[in-house]
Amino acid sequence: MKSLAKMLNNVSVLLVIMKLAIQKTLSEVVDYEREDDYNGSKGNVGKVEKVESASETANIRSYRELNFRRMSKEEKVGWLAGVIDGDGSISVIIRKNRTLQREVFVGSSDRDFVEIVDRVASKLGVDGKTYTLKTLLNGKKYEWYRWSVQNKENLGKLVYLLSKSICTTVKFTRLLKLSKSLGLDVELSYGKMTLPWIAGFFEADGVAYWWYKNGKKTFGVGFSQKDLRVLEDIKKRLSGIGIKSFYLNKSRAPRVYTLTIYTIDDVLTFINAIGKYVLSCGRLQQLLKLKVCLENRFVFTKCVKWTKEMCDVALSLRMKGYSYGQIARILNAKCNASLSYGAVESKIRRLRKKDGD
């Protein structure tokens, strides 16, 4: 009993220290913003005063509001383009009755993420719709959220906004097809690899992880993408802010490539550069927790142990056409884990091989 009480006491101390560390992290960000305000950049002293009270309570939503307010229109366009490049869809389909069905949408198991996509788009003058899709798997209900634009006028506005911001080859080709189907006279060109675009792309299709693996601390941030050129451009852009530790995995080519940043200093540099453009609360909290872990060298979670229920859900979702990234996000939300795209793919492959045997 004494050992149990001592262990619980140690856990409580760690939680208190981590809470204080997150507050300190938010305070440092606010201090940086205050210095910018006095130097004549965007924002004003009134905004900083509001954030100070939020930093004292480690309010992630208030930190997100700060990011949203300080981002310019061009930065919001870049962020939205990154989201659509990462996990969005642009489609022009000819129906059986010869009519065209046009749609741009973003889907996620994270309701907050879909809502902030809708909010950014509305701020830019594009009115979309958000709705919930419900799925029944193994007797349990799962919800999937979606932001969609189908109205011709709003699709036209979106094309003009994204005309010089889309970076992936597939989405650029589909945007060009959508523009022609709408009869728009707009010149399209590939976008620049900006930090807001990288932030949006990371929120949609990136991963941040930290855990114990084989007795060692494993951590990093990364991206997965079928377009190798995009990952090379991201690597080049991040190299410009001092990041040097990249691992570009081509082992799954040509299906998918992964780019990972893996040293403490470079991961912290990435978080500090991208954090002020991250708008989803879940991803923002994830990055702040990772920053606290790396700065204080503690609070690493153990590797996730796959239960039979998790395996069944993963296989069922994959059979229904869900991507590995979507499955990872659903399982992470369900079991509060940090599964990556690659971890889910490897597990599903092993399960299928086992069933085949």
Instruction: Find all residues with CB under 8 Å of 221, minimum gap 6, and list them.
Output: 202, 206, 207, 208, 209, 260, 261, 267, 270, 271, 287, 290
Nearest to 196 by CA among 273, 132, 102: 273
Distance CA 122, CA 115 (A): 10
Question: Residue ranges per domain, the chain?
Answer: 2-70, 75-192, 193-301, 304-357
Q: DSSP state, 190?
A: P
Distance CA 304, CA 282 (A): 19
Fold agreement between 75-192 and 193-301: yes
| Cβ contact 277:75 at 8 Å | yes
pTM of the model: 0.71
Distance CA 158, CA 318 (A): 31
Measured from the Cβ of residue 254, the count of other Cβ atoms closer than 10 Å reads 8
- Domain with residues 75-192, CATH architecture: Roll (3.10)
- Domain with residues 193-301, CATH architecture: Roll (3.10)
| Cβ contact 296:290 at 8 Å | no
Nearest to 238 by CA among 249, 247, 250: 247
Distance CA 118, CA 80 (A): 10
Per-residue pLDDT of the chain (357 residues; tens, 9 = 90+): 445 444 445 545 444 445 545 444 444 443 333 333 322 223 222 222 233 333 333 478 888 899 999 999 999 999 999 999 998 999 998 887 778 889 999 998 888 999 999 999 999 999 999 989 887 766 777 788 999 999 999 999 999 999 999 999 999 999 999 999 999 989 999 998 999 999 999 999 888 887 766 667 788 899 988 888 999 999 999 999 999 999 988 876 667 889 999 898 999 999 999 999 999 888 888 898 888 888 876 555 556 678 888 888 888 888 888 888 788 888 877 776 667 666 788 788 888 877 664
CA–CA distances in Å: residue 139 to residues 132, 175, 309, 334, 355 = 19, 39, 11, 15, 22
